[in-house]
Structure 1
Amino acid sequence: MRTWFLCKVKYAKETEEGLLKSISEQYLVDAVSFTEAEAILYDRLGSQIRGDFQVTGISKSNIVDVFFFEDADIWHKCKVTYLVADGDSGKEKKVTQYMIVTAEDVKQAYDRIQESLSNMLVSFRVPDITESPIVEVFPFERDEPVDSLPPGNFRPVNQEDEE
């Protein structure tokens, strides 16, 4: 299961008049721990932000899924609710989850959430959509492919037994 961390970064940005203005931005990072989330921020933002920047806060986010569409760059936080049956008591239980999606406006965000969740087996509602202050999302990226083996003298086990 993914763990999304909401990270706040503060830095000085030069305005059009040439003055330095203190800017605070939020980023969403997929990481295993707080330490890894901070390391990812320093790695990714080091090349994007000129000058020094400071990570002022990292907290676990309640976001469970992220839907990225390349034609939009505004993130919208969507509250999704659905009912599930409790196995022990047989009563229905309301489940609330938060997801974010890129869209130009709230209507497009609603349409995209409906499209992305269309394969859910239970019916769901989207009671709330708000524009999010998140500037960018950094999903987990694997450095090396999993399927490749390191160079070496590897043979199948069945060939090893024949010798």
Structure 2
Amino acid sequence: MSTTWYECKVKYRKTDDIGTQKVTTEPYLVDALSYTEAESRINEEMSAYISEEFKITNIKVANYAEIHPFENADRWFKSKVSLMAYDEESGKERRSNMYILIQANDVKEAYDNTISIMKNTMGDYTIPAISESPIMDVFPYFSGEEGELEQLERFNALKGSKPELVAVGDMGESIENLIEAE
């Protein structure tokens, strides 16, 4: 069964660096089976971080195919990956887009992380866009069962992984596509 991610917007009073309080709304991602479970999970997760009252203002299904955390990264980026396939019936090339949420420190690192994730892909692909996501944090599902303990450990191992550096020659066409997209 594939993972369904829900984007939950949480409104609460936040204290900034100078000590003033401001009401802010921030999006978070939770892995859940339904809207009801997403609401319950975000309440549980946020109550550990926010001592005052907070309000969930919106819950919607997120359109991420995959989530990839990386260590020493503090921001999330949305990578649009276009997979290319040849349609034998019409004789035309077809593109299908998927969105990957990547953790990185800047756009270049997000691009490098996307390349490292896609390196074992058999088909052709391009990366037409990478943008910073407003997502503040990601909460994967974990029930405590042993089979799921492996999944959580794998997710946490990905947070601890470091992307391999790609030689500049391997990125030529994709960098041109990124430059053209801007």
Is 2:85–2:124's contact at 8 Å kept on the other side of the alignment? no
Q: Tell me, which stretches of 5 or more residues in structure 1 are unaligned?
A: 148-163
Deviates most, 9-18 or 121-130: 9-18
Taking structure 1 as the reference length, the TM-score comes to 0.83
Taking structure 2 as the reference length, the TM-score comes to 0.75
Q: Residues 4-57 of structure 1, C-alpha deviation per residue, up to 9 Å, x if partnerless?
A: 111100001234555431011010111111111111101111010120011100
Structure 1 equivalent of residue 137 of structure 2: 136
Larger radius of gyration: 1
Distance 1:43 1:107, change over 3 A: same
After TM superposition, give the deviation of residue 108 of structure 1 in Å. 0.6
Is 1:75–1:100's contact at 8 Å kept on the other side of the alignment? yes
Structure 2 equivalent of residue 118 of structure 1: 119
Distance 1:83 1:13, change over 3 A: same
Q: Tell me, which stretches of 5 or more residues in structure 2 are unaligned?
A: 149-182
Aligned equivalents of 1:15 and 1:81: distance in 2?
39
Structure 1 equivalent of residue 55 of structure 2: 54
Task: Please state whether the residue corresponding to 1:134 is helix, strand or coil.
Answer: coil
Count of matched residue positions in the alignment of Structure 1 and Structure 2? 147
Sequence identity, in percent? 39
- Please tell me the root mean square deviation across aligned C-alpha atoms, in Å: 1.8
Amino acid corresponding to residue 84 of structure 2 in structure 1: L
Aligned equivalents of 1:26 and 1:47: distance in 2?
16
Distance 1:89 1:16, change over 3 A: closer
Write out aligned runs for 1:8-157 (5 A): 8-16=9-17, 18-86=19-87, 89=90, 91-146=92-147
